[in-house]
Amino acid sequence: MKCPNCKDKDLVPVMTQQGVEVDFCPQCEGIWLDKNEIYLFTRAPTYLKTKIEEAVQSKKDSTRLSPVLSRTMVELPILGGEINIDYCPESEGFWLDKDEINKLPAIKTRLRIDKGIFRDSKTGLPKTLLALPNLSLRSAMVLLGLYALLSLFLIIFVELGKISASTALTAGLIVAALQFMLGPFLMDLSLRMLYKMSWVKPEDLPQHLRIFISKICQDEGINFPRMGIILDGAPNAFTYGHHPNNARVVITRGLLDLLNKEETEAVVAHEMGHVLHWDMLIMTLAQLVPLILYYVYRTLIRMKSRGKDKSAPMRILIAIFAYVLYIISEFIVLWFSRLREYFADRFSGKVTGNPNALASALVKIGYGLAGDDSGKGGMNYKERQDTLNSVGPMGIFDSKCASILAVSGYSGPRSMGGEVNKDKLRDVAKWDLWNPWAAYYELQSTHPLIAKRLKFLSNQSRVLGKDPYIEFNQRRPESYWDDFFLDLSVKALPFIIFVSAIALLIAKKEIFYLWLGSFVFGFAYLINTVFSYPDSDFVVMNIKNLLSKIKVSAVRPVPCRIKGKIIGRGVPGLIFSEDFVMQDETGVIFLDYRQPLVIFNFLFGLLRAARYINQDAEVIGWYRRSPVPYIEIKKLMIAGKESTCLTYNTKLIFSMALIILGFVMAISIVK
């Protein structure tokens, strides 16, 4: 894009202190803001939007050309002409000359551009595969370490707990055997009862997918896996079973709709990688260690004895020790799971010969980014219908599928089926690469962050002689740790106050401290609620705007208003899932329906959620990341009907009630 002011100078994407990427002219230092981006820089977006709408009524002709459309823009006099900014009515973007943005109403902080990017030189990229540890050796070491940890605990348990070794060993073996033997069958049962899922024969799969899976099975000498399809528009895939020859691979209808043929094959190849690496068995064995430790912990905590319980102190001590080891082993298992995901990704890239296909699929599924389906990579509407008809005889898709697919797979010139906009992707991935919350959540996740997986897949493409899927700018324009620690402090404040109040009550043994603690806890909870639920300026945005925001977390949201179409449930196919997946013209995002009591979530999902599927909707809520991008619903409006989530209101009432009750009772005791 060319600078509207300098005309022949290219605009360069740069980061700002607000954690938003803008297009910047290094020569005149003006900036271009895409549609709705201007509202990410002000504390009062609704007020600014009103002033802009007023200025549109007094617009003047401008000689500058829009960098997006190369058409003449108009000039808007903001605040009675104190500042004049250029506006493109067609793209709804703004051009602001040097320092003009700092004159807008209620700007959060002075805009600072990261100019260091112009000083950086491009470094060479590795031309060999990024090293992964030896899978067999690492698997053996992890399993040996986990079971050594478990054995040590059982020995201590036997010695201090005064129970027989056979009792401890039998308990562990029973839990392990039941988990391994019954797990797949219980999963089969739950899929049949709770999900709209059907098992399909190989010949009822799309032809290209059947041929692809058959070739992998033939080359690797395993049986064709049992295939299931969940009737839901949200994309997902998973595998389970005992061993490679009785594996089940389950995909959703949304996966077939959302991805093109190469991407679908790449995702299935990833799942086949789990099958061939025996991940089902190995991860079951690894997960048994924390499962047994937790089982022992719960058993000891609940155990009661008649009369004076002299063993209670020792029993509680062992229970605490078991719980600590459970936490340690759980983090080890999570790390082990993330490692195996990299190997499954690499297997997919190897058998498809196209790691970029899996990378593209991960972006569409994990980030919900829309692609341009006008190129060669996408399937057109007719091809999508033919693909569906191949499984039609099994009753997997009914007559309404075509309209559903038109939503999730083909929505006009821009859809989810084709190439992803790489600039858009770089914006979204910066959260994974730069925000400390990303690392915090990854520690608790079974899967690596998507940006990290893309890095390995792009490296594999380069080694195979293909252009890498994407190259990320690793330069971080600022430290985001200050925001992280503020978020963490706000999140932890009520818990810290609660623990402190209990400790003070136990130490002083006076009822006054109970009510004082109630007052302080209520105040801390109120701070947490107000910080986490800003209840104003729900400005209309699109999913692209939201996904590019870096300074956002589960604690620090962005109030927003989104219009789009509901294409599926949050948990694909689950008959009582209360959450949704929404698509607009720029992407797909998860909607979190959350009421104060879980029973209301369940009833909404079971009785009402189905009628929202495939409907145009407007959502008012709070955009968060943890690390999956999602919007916590405040209001959901469809066809003139409105559903309201009362979590925010309930938290406000609860905190105020604690403050008032604690204050009144504490004062009465003092008097």
DSSP 590: E
Structure confidence at residue 120 (pLDDT):
45
Amino acid letter, residue 475 = R
Look at the alpha carbons of 447, 450, 451, 454 in this order and tell me if their dihedral is positive or negative: positive
Give the DSSP H/E element, type plus range, for residue 165: helix 165-194
| Gap between the Cα atoms of 403 and 408, Å rounded | 9
* CA angle centred on 449, ends 448 and 451, rounded to 5°: 125
Structure confidence at residue 623 (pLDDT):
95
Structure confidence at residue 408 (pLDDT):
26
In the chain (671 residues long), the average pLDDT of successive 10-residue segments reads: 86 76 86 85 81 87 89 86 86 87 71 58 52 59 65 63 56 66 79 80 91 94 92 80 89 84 93 90 81 76 62 77 86 88 92 93 72 34 30 25 24 44 78 89 85 90 88 75 93 91 84 87 94 88 85 92 89 81 85 93 91 92 88 92 93 95 86 66
Structure confidence at residue 192 (pLDDT):
77
Specify which residues 360 forms β-bridges with.
none
Structure confidence at residue 560 (pLDDT):
93
Assess contact for 411 and 214: CB atoms under 8 A: no
Length of the chain: 671
452 Cα distance to chain centroid = 14
Nearest to 270 by CA among 211, 206, 216, 195: 216
Residues 6+ apart with CB under 8 A from 555: 487, 488, 490, 491, 531, 532
Kindly provide the residue ranges of all beta strands, DSSP E only, lying in 237-312, ordered along the sequence. Answer: 237-240, 248-252
Angle between helices 312-352 and 450-463 (to 10 degrees): 30
- Which of these is catalytic: 271, 341, 578, 632? 271
The number of C-alpha atoms within 13 Å of 617 and in the hemisphere containing its C-beta is: 26
CATH fold of the domain at 481-671 = OB fold (Dihydrolipoamide Acetyltransferase, E2P) (2.40.50)
Dihedral angle over CA of 218, 283, 147, 222, nearest 10: -10
Nearest to 131 by CA among 528, 372, 459: 459
Structure confidence at residue 108 (pLDDT):
59
Q: CATH 2.40.50.200 spans which residues of the chain?
A: 481-671
Is 271 an annotated catalytic residue?
A: yes
Assess contact for 551 and 333: CB atoms under 8 A: no
Assess contact for 578 and 73: CB atoms under 8 A: no
pLDDT tens digits along 218-240: 999 999 999 999 887 767 888 88
Burial 53-83 (b: 16+ CB within 10 A, else e): eebeeeeeebebbbbbeeeebbbbbbeeeeb
383 Cα distance to chain centroid = 30
At 240, is the secondary structure helix, strand, or coil? strand
Give the DSSP H/E element, type plus range, for residue 520: helix 511-532
Assess contact for 333 and 327: CB atoms under 8 A: no
Count of C-beta atoms within a 10 Å radius of residue 422: 13
| Gap between the Cα atoms of 67 and 73, Å rounded | 10
| Gap between the Cα atoms of 546 and 625, Å rounded | 10
* CA angle centred on 462, ends 458 and 468, rounded to 5°: 45
Assess contact for 262 and 371: CB atoms under 8 A: no
